[in-house]
Structure 1
Amino acid sequence: MSDNQGRKDLRMPDDDEVFAVVTEMLGANRVNVRCMDGTERTARIPGRMQKRVWIREDDVVLVSPWDWQDEKADIEWRYDKQDADQLRREGHIQG
């Protein structure tokens, strides 16, 4: 494992999930995200994450867009800074 030391196996999106970057905090457990499929969405921070995972602007998250309303999504996962840098290096997310 010499050529990619420090590389972790990160949680990758399932079929219905996309990478996103938090662009704005809206309050009331909602954030604006810019998804890697080119769509801006309003994402909801689920109750299981509210007190345990702090989400800030410019965080890389994994969201699952709603089936019935494409401009909304639920946040499924937040990557820490090192993991986000690795995703950028490997070309999974832009910016």
Structure 2
Amino acid sequence: MSDDSGRKDLRMPDDDEVFAVVTNMLGANRVKVRCMDGKERTARIPGKMQKRIWIREDDVVLVEPWDWQDEKADITWRYEKQDADQLREEGHITD
């Protein structure tokens, strides 16, 4: 079942989501993210994540850009450090 490489099946972005790296903590449940589509966005940490998931600078997250305001987004998922390293190795994330 498990192979030697230790590769995990990670959650991949849906059609409306993009990978992003947290670059700055802004406070008030907001962070600055650098998205893999080349844009800088202000991302919101939704209420259901605030208490359960700790988000820090340099974390790899999935964001869902807003339809009506492209420079803003909602964070939908945060990757663990080893998962983020795997995404970098597979070329999904460029630094």
Shorter-chain TM-score: which interval? over 0.9
Amino acid at match of 1:73: A
Partner SS, residue 22 of structure 2: strand
Shift of residue 27 of structure 1? 0.2
Scaled by the length of structure 1, the TM-score of the pair is 0.96
Q: Distance in 2 between matches of 1:89 and 1:50?
A: 29
Partner of 2:79: 79
Q: Unaligned stretches of 5+ in structure 1?
A: none
Amino acid at match of 1:93: I
Shift of residue 5 of structure 1? 2.3
4+ runs of 1 displaced by more than 3 Å? none
Q: Distance in 1 between matches of 2:6 and 2:47?
A: 32
Q: Unaligned stretches of 5+ in structure 2?
A: none
Partner of 1:7: 7
Count matched residues: 94
Q: Map 1:15-94; keep pairs closer than 5 Å.
A: 15-94=15-94
Q: Distance in 2 between matches of 1:5 and 1:51?
A: 33
Amino acid at match of 1:43: A
Q: Distance in 1 between matches of 2:47 and 2:6?
A: 32
Partner SS, residue 15 of structure 2: coil
Amino acid at match of 1:66: W
Partner SS, residue 84 of structure 1: helix
Q: Distance in 2 between matches of 1:53 and 1:17?
A: 19
Shift of residue 88 of structure 1? 0.1
The share of aligned pairs that are identical, in percent, is: 84
